[in-house]
Chain A
Amino acid sequence: MTETYILIPGRTSKQGVGISEGKFGETYQSETTCLQVASEDMTSCGLTDGDWVRLESEFGQIEVVVKAARKDELPSGLLFIPYGDLSSRLMGGDTHGTGMPTSKGFDVTMQPIASPS
């Protein structure tokens, strides 16, 4: 089943700590490759923590692990991922005359997968 969601990449303190520890280290890598999903969306998609999904935007696709967002942090239909290499792969090159690619609040589809390809 493939559903469309709005993806919000953003900063987290763990991601910031990971930058200082080193971008190839465990903290940064684990934080920036984990997608947070609202609990009701986890249920409706039949997902549990640690499952894999494929996210696809107009410009690219990535495969990430999911975990349920804390309590009421995310409304249904919204996904959150800490900034990093993977989230940036979903951005397009066009900046609409601003210099800034649309890096937050863009549409993605989410499809559960058995394991990363």
Chain B
Amino acid sequence: MATVTPDASSENELKVVTDATCTFCGCVCDDIDLTVDGDHIVKAKRACVLGKAWFLNHTADDRPSCLIHGKPASVEAGIERSAEMLVSARYPLIYGLSDTTSESQRTAVGIADWVGANIDTTSSVCHGPTGMALQGVGEVTASLGEVRNRGDMIIFWGANPAESHPRHFTRYSLTPKGMFLPNGRKDRTCVVVDVRKTKSAKAADIFIPVKPRSDFEALWALRALANDVELDPNQVLHDTGIELSVWQDLMTRMKAAKYGAIFFGMGLTMTRGKHANAEALLALARDMNKHTRFICKPNRGHGNVTGADNVMAWRTGYPFGVNFMRGYPRFNPGEYTASDVLARKEADAAMIIAADPMANFSQPARDHLKAIPYIAFDPKETPTTRAAEVAFTVATYGINVPGTVYRMDDVPISLRPALECHHPSDLEILKAIEKQVQKLNMENAMAQSKDTSLRPARENFGSNE
């Protein structure tokens, strides 16, 4: 339970918010004590280097809460223009959602349904392939608490938590003393498989420098070993760049473990093989359960990207890349994912919430986004807010705004904001846009006198869609 107490050691009686939640990365550490001086956070106890930067650099941006074509406008005018843009578009795209609360994600999915939009999250360009693999082979899963207390064999594959999730090792996976691991790090074996010797590799007991673009082959070699299939040493060396004996040694250790946990990153999902790599790894974890207990989890990046998957799944049945154009949700990665929809020049309007595709997407996708009207939500100025027709500067989730986020192991965690903010939250704006969209839909339906439902008429999309 969070408490807010004055800091007795300070003459100014600084406010201290205990057990605040850091939403920078998927670890979602909820044990941070924040010391607040006026409108600044001056101390973030227990936060890592990324968490400290997240909290200590926070200031409410002094830009207007709404810009239309780069000029200051009222938030109400921005809401009206946004609703008009979405309702009048033939192919609206809603994208982002990984750095906001699940309450906002839920509302955004509602808007997508009302306007018949294509909705996608940043999942599609991080662990989207993992989402596809999960549908293929399932997931042997666990909470991070279970790994902390039981995991004696920890494998990181294509992941570098020392840089991307700095407290992963110390809070969950490597150094903590657990219920069944009284000696902490000494009771665990850590293996890193990667194409380069990362900071994480330096913290491992065993580093396996797999040949670039050969994760798929390496994982299937391990699957073969898990199932006692004989392999040709020359073929394995040729395919993976690693001697068969190294893989055999790893498999022996994996079978001997009491509780194994494999964490994987975008080294698998962004490279050759993508979902096939993730599928092979998830299947390997499943295979290992014939010998001992093994689980497998993706190391999720953004603070609430796991929430985005969850909310999309419980609202639409699918985790990302969903199209509402026929009035019901359809899922097809490659067709309804944002990068493709933009690169193929299909979308004619967009709403970008807490993401920066103008900095992170391929050039063809960026070029098209720049060419269409779009709305952007972000607490800070980014290349995406700069090129937006309507740009909302919003309060920051977790620091200014309460709500719920999902940790990378699908555990929902409540936020405990520390500061007030003069900007509205994205949830307030999204709710107002949803209301305005409903109003416009009703007006359009009345005007056409054909469709009295609140949903938009879709004659333009025709039967040959």
Residues on A facing B (Cβ under 8 Å)? 6, 8, 10-13, 16-17, 20-24, 59-60, 72-75, 78, 80, 83-85, 88-89, 91-105
Q: How far is the CA of A8 from the CA of B270 in the complex (A)?
A: 10
In the complex, besides A8-B195, A20-B57, A98-B132, 14 extra interface pairs with C-beta distance below 8 angstroms are: A6-B213, A8-B212, A13-B50, A13-B163, A20-B54, A23-B382, A83-B360, A92-B362, A93-B365, A95-B340, A97-B334, A100-B269, A105-B195, A105-B212
Total residue contacts A-B, CB cutoff 8 A: 151
- Is the CB–CB distance between B196 and A80 below 8 Å? yes
Instruction: Tell me, in angstroms, the Cα distance from A94 to B363 when the chains sit together.
Output: 11
A87 to chain B, nearest CB (A): 9
B300 within 8 A of partner (CB): no
The CA of A80 and the CA of B359, in the complex, are separated in Å by: 18
Chain B interface (Cβ < 8 Å from any Cβ of A): 24-25, 49-50, 53-54, 57-58, 120, 124-125, 128-129, 132, 160, 162-164, 166, 195-198, 209, 212-213, 266-267, 269-272, 274-275, 301, 320-321, 333-335, 337-340, 343-344, 356, 359-365, 380-383
B319: shortest Cβ distance to chain A, in Å?
11
Given contacts A93-B365, A98-B333, contact A21 B57 (CB under 8 A): yes
Cβ–Cβ contact B383 & A85, under 8 A = yes
Bound-complex Cα distance A44 to B270 (A): 29
State A74–B164 Cα separation when bound (angstroms).
Answer: 18
Query: B335 to chain A: which residues have CB within 8 Å?
Result: 97
Query: Please, could you name 22 A-B residue pairs with CB atoms under 8 Å apart, sorted by A?
Result: A10-B267, A13-B49, A13-B50, A13-B166, A16-B25, A16-B163, A17-B49, A22-B57, A59-B362, A59-B363, A85-B359, A85-B360, A88-B360, A88-B363, A91-B363, A93-B343, A95-B340, A98-B337, A99-B321, A99-B334, A102-B274, A105-B212
B333 & A6 in contact (Cβ 8 Å cutoff): no
| B137 nearest CB across to chain A (Å) | 16
Which residues in A have their C-beta under 8 angstroms from that of B363?
A: 59-60, 88-89, 91, 93
State in angstroms the CA–CA spacing of A74 and B340 once bound together: 32
Q: How far is the CA of A12 from the CA of B383 in the complex (A)?
A: 20
- Once the chains bind, are A100 and B359 in contact (CB under 8 Å)? no
Q: How far is the CA of A90 from the CA of B49 in the complex (A)?
A: 29
- Bound form: Cα–Cα A100–B131 in Å: 12
Instruction: In the A-B complex, list the 6 residue pairs whose CB atoms are closest, starting with the nearest.
Output: A99-B337, A93-B343, A97-B334, A99-B124, A93-B364, A105-B271
Residue on B nearest A25 in the bound complex, by CB: B57
Whether B164 lies near A16 (C-beta < 8 A) is: yes
User: Measured between C-beta atoms, what is the minimum distance from A62 to chain B in Å?
Assistant: 11
Which of A23, A59, A89 lies at the interface centre, i.e. has the most chain B CB atoms within 10 A of its CB? A23
CA distance A94 to B344 in the complex (A): 9
Contacts A93-B364, A100-B339 given; does A24 touch B381 at CB 8 Å = yes
How many angstroms from the CA of A60 to the CA of B366 in the assembled complex?
Answer: 13
Residues of B within 8 A of A95 (CB): 333-334, 337, 339-340
A58–B53 CA distance with the chains assembled, in angstroms: 36
A72 to B196, CA, bound (A): 8
Which chain B positions have C-beta within 8 A of A94? Answer: 343
CA A93 – CA B274 in complex, angstroms? Answer: 15
* B88 → chain A closest CB, angstroms: 26
* CB of A107, distance to nearest CB on chain B (Å): 10
Q: Are A78 and B343 in contact (CB under 8 A)?
A: no
Specify which chain A residues have a CB less than 8 angstroms from the CB of B163 in the assembled complex: 10-13, 16
Chain A residue at minimum C-beta to C-beta distance from B337: A99
B274 touches A98 (CB 8 A): yes
* Contact partner, A22, options B50, B164, B274, B380, Cβ 8 Å: B380
- Whether the pair A78, B333 counts as a contact (CB closer than 8 A) is no
A73-B196, A85-B383, A95-B340 are contacts. A100–B270 as well, Cβ < 8 Å? Answer: yes
Minimum CB–CB distance from B299 to chain A (whole Å) comes to 10
In the complex, residue of chain B having the shortest beta-carbon distance to the beta carbon of A16: B50
Residue of B nearest to A91 (CB): B362
Report B-chain residues with C-beta under 8 Å of the C-beta of A83. Answer: 360
B209: which A residues are within 8 A, CB to CB? 75
Chain A residues within an 8 Å CB radius of B356: 23
Q: Which of B50, B270, B343 contacts A20 (CB 8 A)?
A: B50
Contact call A11/B164, Cβ cutoff below 8 A: yes
Alpha-carbon distance between A96 and B271 when the two chains are bound, in angstroms: 12
